[in-house]
Amino acid sequence: MRVNQSILAILATSFMAMASSSAIAEAKIGVADPQRAILQSEIGKQGVQQINAQYSEQDDMLKEMQTEITTLLEKLKKDTELMSDQEFQNLLQEISVKRNQMSQLLQELQRVKLEQSDRLIQSLTPRYQEAIEALVLSDKYDLVLPRQSVHYRHELYDVTAKITEKMNALEK
């Protein structure tokens, strides 16, 4: 009697394993890049434009600094033979100081813009979640995974653009 129960248990387990594997095979799975979906949505693009506009003065300052450095480098290249050693050293020093200032400003600007972008993404994450829910309901997805959590994915499974479309539709 125990042998029959063991055989039945093994058969039942095998049947359940086959049934669950066939259910997994039929699952509709999507992979999404949340950051890209958010930043490519209309509201995300507007937010990025606002961030860039907010720091356009600093961007202009960086361009001006780059122009100054280029001008000084051209002068150094052109007038090297006419300069005294002291003038040459002074010009090199000036170029070095300006490059350091520009580098510091660039790093600070990038840091601030990145912080602003992160805040924008955080503020739009609920809208992203709504878009995923709308996609799951309309297109019958069983599972949507974040792109960063997947070791391998085929572009066929990428639903980022669909989520961006849903975010834009929610906006209207």
> How many Cβ atoms are within 10 Å of 38's Cβ, its own excluded?
27
Helix axes 56-79, 85-139, angle to 10 degrees: 140
Q: Which sequence spans correspond to the domains of the chain?
A: 2-171
Q: What's the confidence (pLDDT) of residue 82?
A: 85
Instruction: Output the DSSP codes for 66-91.
Output: HHHHHHHHHHHHHHGGGS-HHHHHHH
Contact 121, 167 (CB under 8 A): no
CA distances from 44 to 37, 51, 85, 118, 129 (A): 9, 11, 54, 11, 14
| Token pair of 81 as six digits | 């033979």
Contact 157, 31 (CB under 8 A): yes
Q: What's the confidence (pLDDT) of residue 156?
A: 84
Contact 68, 76 (CB under 8 A): no
Sequential pLDDT tens for the chain (172 residues): 555 555 645 655 555 555 554 555 578 999 999 999 999 999 999 999 999 999 999 999 999 999 999 999 998 888 888 888 899 999 999 999 999 999 999 999 999 999 999 999 999 999 999 999 999 999 999 999 998 888 887 888 899 999 999 999 987 7
Q: What is the distance between the alpha carbons of residues 68 and 71, in angstroms, rounded to a whole number?
A: 5
